[in-house]
Amino acid sequence: SRSQVVALQAGLGLRISDRLSVGAAILGLAGLGGEIFVSSDAAGRFTSRSEQEMIARYSPILGAQYKMPEYNLDFGLVFRAESDATFSVRVDNDLINELPLTIPPLNIGGVAQYDPLTLAVESAWRPMPTLQLSAQVGYYRWSEFEPPTVNPVPGMPAPESPDFSDTIIPRVSAEWRALDKGAQLDVRTGYSFVMSPAPEMDGQQSLLDNNRHVLALGLGMAWPDKLPFSFDIWFQAHQLMSRTHTKDPSKFDDDQMMPFDSIDTGGRVFVGGLVMGVDL
């Protein structure tokens, strides 16, 4: 009931000068393609043969950082190309002699993961040596997102477009070094408003989504003079803004059943984690 994704990322950074650094990376996502063939043996028992292969899809990531130490300012720019992991498995059969009806070939396909083209600009300012303030604005080209699944039978009408919109997402954060004597303790916090690219789901699609406020907290511990280890604990709280989706009967044929008349979405999502690093 849930898709799985295999991803691999490799990158390289280069410091051109004391002020300018650039980097490039490649993100590889594995897609799935193949066929499942169902038939019967001499005893009339159903058998199946499966042939599947992983297909890699690559997307570039480019970034640059420019430092202005005389003003305690840093600037960053990141470009990430569109990336997706698709799956397409054809299910065919040779059961015409075992079943009273003909089963057409089925195509189980869609998108397991999709990341839109992204462009982000960020700046960081240090008003004092122990405090850093950061702000970022990101552009996400969700308008290129296509239906996440395909029709299993070719004769079915084409699925309705999700009609997603491009979004702009602002983020702000602060990091304070509370302790810097033998051990280092960093306290972090951040906020972002994540705008949903999905419109009201009044048609055949039901991709429910909400605008949300995101509050983040974190702690980082390190012992640079004694131990090569560092630990970071982080927590996020997502507050989904309430939203109502009402289906429009005029967008459905007479023989189509609406999945719902009206539905409200909202709620809270909590996420946390622990990261351990080793300095080699």
Reported as a single tens digit per residue, the pLDDT across 108-153 is 888 888 999 999 999 999 999 999 999 999 999 999 999 888 888 8
**CA-derived radius of gyration, the chain:** 25
**Beta strands at 83-93 and 20-40: parallel, antiparallel or unpaired:** parallel
Which whole number is the average pLDDT over 226-252? 93
Q: What is the pLDDT of residue 15?
A: 96
Residue 1 confidence class, pLDDT cut points 50, 70, 90: low
Amino acid at 217: L
Number of H helices, E strands in the chain: 0, 13
For residues 29 and 6, is the Cβ–Cβ distance under 8 A? yes
Give CA–CA dist 30/26, Å, rounded.
13
Which whole number is the average pLDDT over 210-220? 97
Residue 261 confidence class, pLDDT cut points 50, 70, 90: very high
**Longest Cα pair distance anywhere in the chain, in angstroms?**
83
pLDDT at 56 over 90: no
What size, in residues, is the chain?
Answer: 280
Residue 2 confidence class, pLDDT cut points 50, 70, 90: low
What is the SS3 assignment for 28-72?
A: EEEEEEEEEEEEECCCCCEEEEEEEEEEEEEEEEEEEEEEEHHHC
Selection from 176-185, 201-210, 229-238 with the highest mean pLDDT: 229-238
